[in-house]
A and B are shown apart, each in its own frame.
Chain A
């Protein structure tokens, strides 16, 4: 009887503490004390996760092999699709040609872009852990941190293309928000045509690519690459995926097509962090008779005019892109 009464008291007290934690975490934002606690826990756990990841990687490979045997009947079709996808990716050459042509008359801008690309340096990192929940978020922990030059909002890629963005950086480890996460957004363009838009994750594949021009000529197989249009977080021209489904144009202000990412997010192993801080936000153009508005955060996808692609008011209170 005593234990039951004690349990009821504990339940009430700890539930209240939990609700207080939710409230504090919601209000404090990314620089609050609870966020620092997350950094501390990541620092404690990461070395152990790193060691275990090295040990269990062969086990994971064995398990993956067993699953592959089960999927053997689909293997042939998958490889055929893979071959087709690789052929499609050759179209990225068209993007380079189109870009060169458009830059012929813009010598100054071309030099700037060339200089910027030469400034890029990379740091190779291994994925050592995933988020502890099956379906809460798409994040991974990598064994590179601030002592390696990795900072928040840096771009992460692998051999196939864009992996995501650093959202939390500790001394030796960082957390990366994957491109397919619901809270991920990036400015992007169709490589062949240069049509711009905003690419968004949805927790599942494919990703959604919202074109700024609803009448754009888009075809299945078109390659989508990142864009710096409107001062985006990501370097220009990183392959993201290929258009997998196109609906007929409708008389609306925007149009969304499906994009199948090149990266296999369930098989991430070694990734590259681009050691280039995202560009600072430009000063907003003064609008006569109005107060200066709040700037979008570096992680927000941007559209012409510098406004966030998704109005902040529509974001659910529990989902903040940069935490």
Chain B
């Protein structure tokens, strides 16, 4: 219960920073995607199950803070990112510097591209391939810069509030 509350508080804080601080730090109109980064960090530290659950919560928060797109679009993307990062987790050295950085970049690119392409698939003409590619690259790079502090924060949090294991891995 405490762990869930702490994760909820972290996602709330991330959403506030995403909407109130990061717009001021935009480069060429693009900003980092902190909720995507937090989802990837939890998935890398705790595995796919946590990644999927955190991704779902973060996705719902993101969708509720938008006005126009359908509620559920970001949720699908972040759930998929959480699962994918959790899948590759056993093949990465979690304690290294390169793994979080690589995951931050790859998840930033994949998550942003997934959102853009899904929107395009649902008939939104704004998401041209050029725009999606540009946004994906920028968000991937920006998330990479923010990866060290974000992964350290999430790592410390999961160390203090570890997930419950109901069965051996």
Contacts and interface: CB of A to CB of B under 8 A. Distances in A.
B126 A60 contact: no
Interface string B107-133: 000001001100100111111000100
A44 to B, nearest CB: 8
A25 B59 CA distance: 15
A285 interface: no
Nearest to A183: B68
A26 B126 CA distance: 18
Interface stretch (A51-59, A83-91, A254-262): A51-59
Interface in A267-323: 316-320, 323
A1 B169 contact: yes
Interface string B42-75: 0000011101110110011111111111111111
A141 B66 CA distance: 10
Contacts of B18: 132
A217 B76 CA distance: 50
B130 to A, nearest CB: 12
A318 B124 contact: yes
Contacts of A49: 16, 19-20
Q: How large is the interface on B (under 10, 10 to 19, 20 to 34, 35 or more residues)?
A: 35 or more
Contacts of B83: 7, 10-11
Given A14-B56, A135-B30, A56 B21 contact: yes
Contact of A128 (B20, B59, B115): B20
A100 interface: no
A52 B123 contact: no
A193 to B, nearest CB: 31
B17 A52 contact: yes
Interface stretch (A33-41, A108-116, A208-216, A218-226): A33-41
A137 B131 CA distance: 13
B67 A317 contact: no
Contacts of A320: 68
Interface in B138-169: 138-139, 165-169
B7 interface: no
Contacts of A316: 122-125
Interface in B19-52: 19-21, 23-26, 29-31, 33, 35, 47-49, 51-52
Contacts of B75: 14, 17-18, 21
Contacts of B30: 134-135
Interface of A: 1-4, 6-7, 10-11, 14-15, 17-22, 24-26, 34, 37-38, 41-42, 45, 48-49, 52-53, 56-57, 59-60, 63-64, 128-137, 139, 141, 167-168, 175, 177, 182-183, 203, 266, 316-320, 323
